[in-house]
């Protein structure tokens, strides 16, 4: 049974590529799920779902850009039905912390008739180094809405480690791991850590949600901007301003601090113009 591959949906994404590489480093067979994969997977092409899932013993499921996007929960429900029909045994779902639509997606997976693990994650630290906020950081600014609301931002490497543990050890079946970093931080405090790591000033600029939308739309297009702005409006109200023990419960160790993420990312040159 262990010879059956694990399907990683979103295998070219921030978490998916980390999960796939970690599994492969353990000698585990991985089926990459993306539009360009040998066995393609496309959320917009349901005819690709069954071929990608068939023969897999487990699947890591992420929805791009987020479960908050219109129609995402319905597609997830159809995917779970397909997974059950082709005898996938375990689904690990990446969910978003404090998001109403993400909770709806979690409920879909819980009631799908398949073993599951849910990883409910805080905001990603790597949004600053690999995502829509990299260019502003490069320019020395961190433009974010939400005022002085604090977030326990998490390193994606911790998320990947939790997902891999869930996919490779049956003790994680049926668990919900709400994963955060080890401390809550305002965006001004994050900017200070980024300044320390990069050796140059990064200033937090409080902006409106409309300005946030415009910035993301310019960097990533209106499709992504709509989703992330909706999430920001919903969650940057203080509801997530506390840490959880999900990483510790899953891995037996604490989560990585944002300062360590920033320092290591700076060492790799991610915030240089040539990166």
Measured between alpha carbons, how far is 38 from 202 in angstroms, rounded to an integer?
A: 42
Residue 165's contacts (CB-CB under 8 Å, 6 or more residues apart) are 172, 250, 251
Q: Is the pLDDT of residue 1 over 70?
A: no
Task: Say if residues 247 and 253 touch (Cβ distance below 8 Å).
Answer: yes
Per-residue pLDDT reduced to its tens digit, 83-141: 999 999 999 999 999 999 999 999 999 999 999 999 999 999 999 999 889 999 999 99
Q: Residue 96 belongs to what H/E stretch?
A: strand 90-96
Query: Rounded to whole angstroms, how far apart are CA atoms 2 and 199?
Result: 47
- Tens digit of pLDDT for each residue in 40-71? 999 999 999 999 999 999 999 999 888 988 89
- Cβ 245 vs Cβ 180: under 8 Å: no
- Spatial distance between the Cα atoms of 230 and 145, rounded to a whole number of angstroms: 12
Measured in degrees and rounded to the nearest 5, phi and psi for residue 235 equal -105, -20
pLDDT, average across residues 218-235: 89
- Tens of pLDDT, residue by residue over 124-133, are 999 999 988 9
Q: Give percent of the chain above pLDDT 90.
A: 89
Give 214: exposed, middle or buried? Use CB within 10 Å, 0-12, 13-18, 19+. middle
Q: At 112, list the tokens.
A: 């799908």
- For residues 242 and 233, what is the distance between their CA atoms, to the nearest angstrom? 18
Binned at pLDDT 50, 70 and 90, residue 273 comes out as confident
Are 6 and 30 in contact by the 8 Å Cβ rule? The answer is: yes
What's the CA gap between 179 and 273, in Å, rounded?
Answer: 32
Architecture of the structural domain at 6-123+155-181+242-255: 3-Layer(aba) Sandwich (3.40)
pLDDT digits (tens, 9 = 90+) for 21-45: 999 999 999 999 999 999 999 999 9
pLDDT at residue number 3? 83
pLDDT in tens, 180-212: 999 999 999 999 999 999 999 999 999 999 999
The mean pLDDT of the chain is: 95
Q: What tokens does 96 get?
A: 């978003």
As to burial, measured by CB atoms within 10 angstroms (0-12 exposed, 13-18 middle, 19+ buried), residue 81 is: middle
Query: What local confidence, expressed as pLDDT, does residue 274 receive?
Result: 58
pLDDT tier at 275 (50, 70, 90 boundaries)?
Answer: low
Query: Are 115 and 90 spatial neighbours (Cβ–Cβ below 8 Å)?
Result: yes
| Spatial distance between the Cα atoms of 46 and 48, rounded to a whole number of angstroms | 5
pLDDT of the residue at 90: 98
267 is written with which tokens?
């060492």
**pLDDT at residue number 263:** 97
pTM for this model (two decimals): 0.96
CA–CA distance, 164 with 76 (Å, rounded to integer): 21
Helix %, strand %, coil % of the chain (to 5): 45, 15, 40
Buried b (16+ CB within 10 A) or exposed e, 131-141: bbbbebbbeeb
Average pLDDT over residues 4-12: 97
Identify the three-state secondary structure at position 30.
strand
Tokens (6 digits) for 248: 């510790």
């Amino acid at each position: 049974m262990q010879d059956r591959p694990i399907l990683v949906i979103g295998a070219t994404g921030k978490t998916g590529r980390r999960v796939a590489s970690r599994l492969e480093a353990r000698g585990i067979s991985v089926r990459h799920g993306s539009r360009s994969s040998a066995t393609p997977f496309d959320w917009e092409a349901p005819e690709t779902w069954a071929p990608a899932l068939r023969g897999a013993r487990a699947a890591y499921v992420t929805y791009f850009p987020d479960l908050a996007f219109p129609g995402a929960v319905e597609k997830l429900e159809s995917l779970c039905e397909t997974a059950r029909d082709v005898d996938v045994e375990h689904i690990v779902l990446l969910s978003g912390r404090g998001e109403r639509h993400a909770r709806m997606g979690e409920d879909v997976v819980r009631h799908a008739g398949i073993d599951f693990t849910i990883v409910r994650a805080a905001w990603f630290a790597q949004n600053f180094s690999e995502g829509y906020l990299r260019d502003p950081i490069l320019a020395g600014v961190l433009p974010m809405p939400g005022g002085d609301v604090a977030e326990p931002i998490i390193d994606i490497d911790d998320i990947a480690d939790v997902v891999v543990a869930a996919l490779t050890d049956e003790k994680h079946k049926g668990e919900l791991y709400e994963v955060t970093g080890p401390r809550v931080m305002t965006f001004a405090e994050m900017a200070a850590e980024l300044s320390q790591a990069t050796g140059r000033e990064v200033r937090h600029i409080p902006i409106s949600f409309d300005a946030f939308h415009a910035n993301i739309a310019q960097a990533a297009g209106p499709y992504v901007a709509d989703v992330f702005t909706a999430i920001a409006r919903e969650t940057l109200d203080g509801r997530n301003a506390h840490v959880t023990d999900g990483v510790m419960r899953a891995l037996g160790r604490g989560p990585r601090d944002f300062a360590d993420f920033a320092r290591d990312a700076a060492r790799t040159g991610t915030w240089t113009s040539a990166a």
